[in-house]
């Protein structure tokens, strides 16, 4: 994957990273390899900027990105490799060339982007290939379009084929296909269909393959699970685990799902939920069949206490009054009057960009008039409720983050940047303004009265890290130069 283009949103979050995959596997009862020495293969890597960011984070790990040669990413990949660390490799290959390679063994194999639009037959070949190159405790994460929601893609395909049937050659067929896709977008009949969102970035060859050459029948999760079993793989869960819990949706869906869905049948529980919400896209986590016995039916919310948590949450104010509404880098508002939830979000914001364990959260937000057991339960319930919301700014990991382990002194910049965009170490892509870009162009981070406010903004965007003592000295300098609008400490470490 790459950084956004000028027309994209100024914020995005990448969940398809080894750290997130490892944490989600833990919630399903599966142990995956540690990140520090992991071997990572990304199929659909695009220009490779997301992998580039991760390669900087884990210098002892190995990252390999592959994009289909039809997607014309080779020149961008080569330009990026000119400044990339030695543990990153990027390739532009045909499927035939990829499938005949002995690529070695990988701990995390991520299949998405252009590779998610392949026909079922080719995807099945790809999954069989990946299973052969997956380490014993490794995980495959694959993005795919599923029924019932993917039926909208069949309408798109039918419309494209009808319109392109008037053409006499392949070039005109492709042009007609793109014209129909644009028309469907403008018309709005097909809503938020995933293929329409991606079609502008796909090559002519992939458009032809997906819409003109193959029937590309979509599958239900039940069918998908049966297919992967034949390859020696087992279904673990979804990259967005809250989407597999009925409580993520409204109360009516949760109630009806609990009434009808079969107990303890992992796949059927999810299939019924897919019917209820008309789900059209999944990002499935797979492991070797030998590991299937440890996989839980649903994400285990009691395991949330095992994770580390982070978020750039900040209270909002109105006419000098502090509100019970917080926002973070995505600008998604979170409003609540619950004391425990507010205290938890405040603590995460104060600790940003570092992560906090559950015990650290309890310690930092405990109310003196409540018993420890009662307060711990309140924080646990608040954490579960926030998790179920699927907030884009609520980050979690099983291991310490780069911000937690950083030994830099003094404070330093940490980001993979391209133009006005940067990827922080929580895999958020944020937009930088001209003043922020100018500040980050300096080889060393120097705090002055003139740039203090800019540096506060860059800290919120996750652009700065340091060893604990250096972090404290950095913040003391900032606080001394900048008048805080919020009472109390802005950050803690």
Give residue 138's region: left, alpha or beta (phi > 0; psi -120 to 50): beta
Q: Is 191 helix (H, G, I), strand (E, B) or coil?
A: coil
Instruction: Say if residue 61's pLDDT is above 60.
Output: yes
> What would the mean pLDDT of 484-492 be, rounded to a whole number?
43
Q: What is the pLDDT of residue 93?
A: 95
Q: What is the pLDDT of residue 4?
A: 43
Q: What is the pLDDT of residue 479?
A: 84
For 300, residues 6+ apart whose C-beta sits below 8 A from its C-beta are 27, 28, 29
Residue 410: is the preceding peptide bond cis (ω within 30°)? Answer: yes
CA trace torsion 452, 325, 322, 403 (10° rounding): -30
246: tokens are 């009925």
Instruction: Say if residue 482's pLDDT is above 80.
Output: no
The CA distance from 90 to 230, in Å, is 30
Q: Helices (DSSP H) in 321-371: which residue ranges?
A: 339-351, 358-365
Q: What is the pLDDT of residue 194?
A: 66
CB 167 within 8 A of CB 173: yes
Q: What is the pLDDT of residue 270?
A: 97
Give residue 296's region: left, alpha or beta (phi > 0; psi -120 to 50): beta
9 vs 114 pLDDT, higher one? 114
Q: What is the pLDDT of residues 84-101, one digit of tens each?
A: 999 999 999 999 999 999
**Percentage, residues of the chain above pLDDT 70:** 93
Q: What is the pLDDT of residues 247-296, one digit of tens each?
A: 999 999 999 888 888 888 999 999 999 999 999 999 999 999 999 999 99
CB 61 within 8 A of CB 37: yes
Q: What is the pLDDT of residue 208?
A: 81
- Categorize the per-residue pLDDT at 213 as very low, low, confident or very high, splitting at 50, 70 and 90: confident
Q: Is 301 helix (H, G, I), strand (E, B) or coil?
A: helix
Q: What is the pLDDT of residue 190?
A: 58
Distance of CA 47 to the CA centre of its chain: 17
Kindly provide the residue ranges of all beta strands, DSSP E only, lying in 167-213, ordered along the sequence: none
Q: What is the pLDDT of residues 453-466, one digit of tens each?
A: 999 999 999 999 99
Distance of CA 100 to the CA centre of its chain: 30
Q: Considering only CA atoms, which of 380, 383, 372 is closest in space to residue 348?
A: 383
Q: What is the pLDDT of residue 493?
A: 37
Residue 148: is the preceding peptide bond cis (ω within 30°)? Answer: yes
Q: What is the pLDDT of residue 181?
A: 86
Q: What is the pLDDT of residue 478?
A: 86
> What would the mean pLDDT of 36-44 be, rounded to a whole number?
97
Query: What is the pLDDT of the chain when averaged over all its residues?
Result: 89
Instruction: Say if residue 450's pLDDT is above 70.
Output: yes
> What would the mean pLDDT of 334-342 be, rounded to a whole number?
94
Instruction: Say if residue 489's pLDDT is above 50.
Output: no
For 327, residues 6+ apart whose C-beta sits below 8 A from its C-beta are 313, 314, 316, 333, 334
């Amino acid at each position: 994957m790459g950084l956004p283009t000028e027309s994209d949103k100024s914020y995005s979050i990448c969940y398809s990273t080894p750290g997130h995959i490892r944490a989600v596997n833990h919630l399903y009862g599966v142990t995956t390899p540690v990140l520090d020495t992991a071997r990572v293969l990304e199929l659909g890597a695009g220009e490779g900027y997301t992998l580039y960011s991760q390669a900087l984070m884990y210098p002892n790990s190995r990252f390999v990105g592959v994009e289909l040669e039809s997607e014309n990413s080779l020149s961008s990949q080569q330009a990026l490799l000119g400044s990339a660390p030695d543990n990153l490799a990027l390739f532009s290959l045909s499927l035939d060339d990829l499938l005949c390679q002995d690529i070695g063994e990988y701990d995390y194999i991520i299949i998405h982007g252009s590779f998610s639009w392949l026909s079922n037959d080719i995807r099945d070949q790809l999954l069989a290939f990946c299973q052969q190159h997956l380490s014993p405790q490794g995980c495959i994460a694959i993005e795919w379009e599923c029924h019932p929601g993917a039926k909208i893609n069949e309408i798109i395909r039918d419309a494209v084929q009808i319109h392109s049937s008037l053409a006499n050659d392949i070039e005109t067929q492709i042009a007609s296909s793109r014209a129909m896709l644009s028309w469907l977008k403008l018309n709005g009949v097909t809503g938020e269909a995933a293929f329409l969102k991606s079609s502008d970035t796909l090559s002519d060859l992939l458009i032809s393959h997906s819409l003109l050459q193959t029937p590309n029948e979509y599958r239900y999760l039940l069918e998908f699970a049966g297919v992967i079993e034949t390859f020696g793989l087992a279904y673990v869960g979804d990259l967005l685990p809250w989407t597999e819990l009925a409580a993520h949706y409204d109360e009516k869906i949760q109630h009806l799902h609990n009434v009808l869905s079969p107990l303890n049948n992992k796949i059927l529980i999810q299939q019924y939920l897919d019917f209820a919400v008309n789900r059209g896209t999944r990002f499935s986590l797979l492991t070797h069949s030998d590991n299937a016995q440890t996989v839980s039916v649903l994400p285990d919310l009691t395991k949330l206490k095992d994770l580390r948590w982070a978020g750039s949450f900040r209270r909002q104010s109105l006419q000098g009054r502090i509100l019970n509404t917080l926002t973070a880098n995505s600008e998604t508002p979170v409003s609540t009057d619950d004391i425990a939830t507010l205290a938890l979000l405040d603590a995460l914001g104060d600790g940003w960009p570092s992560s906090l364990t559950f015990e650290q959260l309890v310690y930092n937000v405990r109310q003196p008039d409540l018993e420890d057991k009662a307060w711990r339960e309140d924080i646990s319930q608040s954490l579960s409720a926030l998790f179920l919301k699927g907030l884009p700014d609520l980050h979690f990991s099983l291991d310490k983050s780069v911000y937690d382990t950083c030994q830099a002194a003094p404070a330093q910049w940490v980001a993979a940047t391209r133009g006005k965009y940067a990827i922080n170490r929580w895999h958020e892509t944020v937009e930088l303004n001209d003043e922020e870009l100018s500040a980050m162009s300096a080889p060393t981070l120097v705090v002055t009265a003139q740039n203090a406010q800019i540096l506060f903004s860059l800290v919120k965007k996750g652009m700065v890290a340091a060893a604990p003592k250096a972090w404290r000295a950095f913040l003391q300098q900032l606080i001394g130069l900048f008048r805080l609008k919020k009472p109390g400490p802005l950050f803690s470490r």
